[in-house]
Every structure is written in structure tokens, then in C-alpha cells.
Amino acid sequence: MDSYITLGQYAAEEYIVKKSKFIGYAKPIKCEQDALAFIEEIRKKHWDATHNVYAYSLREGSIKRFSDDGEPQGTAGMPVLNVITQEGITDCVVVVTRYFGGILLGGGGLVRAYSHSAKLAVDAAGIITLVPWLVLNISCDYNLYGKIESLVRELGGVMDDTQFTDCVNITFRIEKETLNAFDKKLKDITNGKVEFAIIDEIISAK
């Protein structure tokens, strides 16, 4: 797993220029099926719109796709994809719905309008960095629990579960890149008496 930048949540924003209404939608996704399902959902919601332009980007397969949906070539889908690319985000889909207001915007006007609508939606969704975390488990004596908990927090880790029986059983998360530092400091504070087990690897926000 590698870290990557994506959208924090689903969002929608409206923008009006020269009586044309643009509605930008942005959403994080996991696969191409998610993207296509969301595009179809917006198309059904705005079946009466003049255009439903989209673009999406996926890490898996390095996929980038877009559609002008009837707008002049290069004036709609590509500007939306450019916003995604410039923000450095992936695993996301952006749809911009347009209701024509009767005044032609021209090629440059369309590019600006679709770019602006996409940017509004992306900004509203928020951009987050997802990084790989390791889920670790440790069993230790009671007298070492406080030191280990402090070490986990010192390295930016998250305590998930602690069970107190004849010993203390701790489950926690640390960023993968801090594993070596954690291993070294754990040996130092426990005189090498405590070992950890890696039980899972996940990817989530910092």
C-alpha cells in the first residue's frame, strides 16, 4: 500500500453564469464501477439537464476518463479532469451538470465554467491524504503498559483496544513508515522483553 490523495467526502456545489446553471458533484470512489454508478445516478437525477459532464481518476490501472456529453470537444470533460489532475487527487469522480440558460458562453467560457464548477465541488468535498497504517498487538506486564501507551501516542499512533487480564493486551495503529522507529524504541523502554505482532495493514487518513 502507498499513500495517496483523494476526496474527504461527497459534496455538491451550484454555480450560475450568464443564466446557465452548473451543479458540480464530487465523490471519493474505490473502483470504476463506483464511478459509473455515480455518473448514472446523477444522470437520472438530472435527466432534464442539457449536459451531464464527468471525469474520474483511479489509482488501479492508472485510469483517467472523461466525457464532454455533447459539449464542444475539449470544453467540458477535459477541464474537469484537469482540475482532478492539478489537485493531485485520485480514486474520485466529478460530475458537472449544466442547465443551459439561453446565452452562449463560447469555448473559453465553457472551459472556465466547467473548471470552476469542478473546483467548487472538489473544494467542498475536501482533500485528504490516506496513508498505510499497521495494526499491531502487544501483550505486556502492567508495569510496562504506561510506557508503551506513551510511545504509541508519541509516534502519532492510535490506541484501539486495551484488555486487562493477567497481563495487558493492547491493540493499536501506527503509520507504516514509523515501524522501525517504534521497534527500536520499544526495545529500549522494555529492555527487549516485549515483542509486537502485526495483525493487519489498512489505509486511512493521517
Length, in residues, of the chain: 206
Q: How many CB atoms lie within 10 A of CB 194?
A: 17
Query: What is the rounded average pLDDT of the residues 159-188?
Result: 94
Q: How many CB atoms lie within 10 A of CB 165?
A: 7
- Residue pair 174/156 in contact by the 8 Å Cβ criterion: yes
Residue 126 scores a pLDDT above 80:
yes
Residue 27 scores a pLDDT above 70:
yes
pLDDT digits (tens, 9 = 90+) for 66-125: 999 999 999 999 999 999 999 999 999 999 999 998 877 888 899 999 999 999 999 999
Tell me the fold of 131-205: Alpha-Beta Plaits (3.30.70)
Which cell numbers hold the place of 66? 472523461
pTM for the whole thing?
A: 0.81
Q: How far apart are CA 15 and CA 21, in angstroms?
A: 6
Tell me the fold of 4-125: Ribosomal Protein S5; domain 2 (3.30.230)
Residue 166 scores a pLDDT above 70:
yes
Q: How many CB atoms lie within 10 A of CB 41?
A: 13
Domain with CATH 3.30.70.240 in the chain: 131-205
Domain with CATH 3.30.230.30 in the chain: 4-125
DSSP code at position 41? H
Cβ burial of 32 (10 Å; 0-12, 13-18, 19+) is middle
What confidence score (pLDDT) does residue 1 get? 67
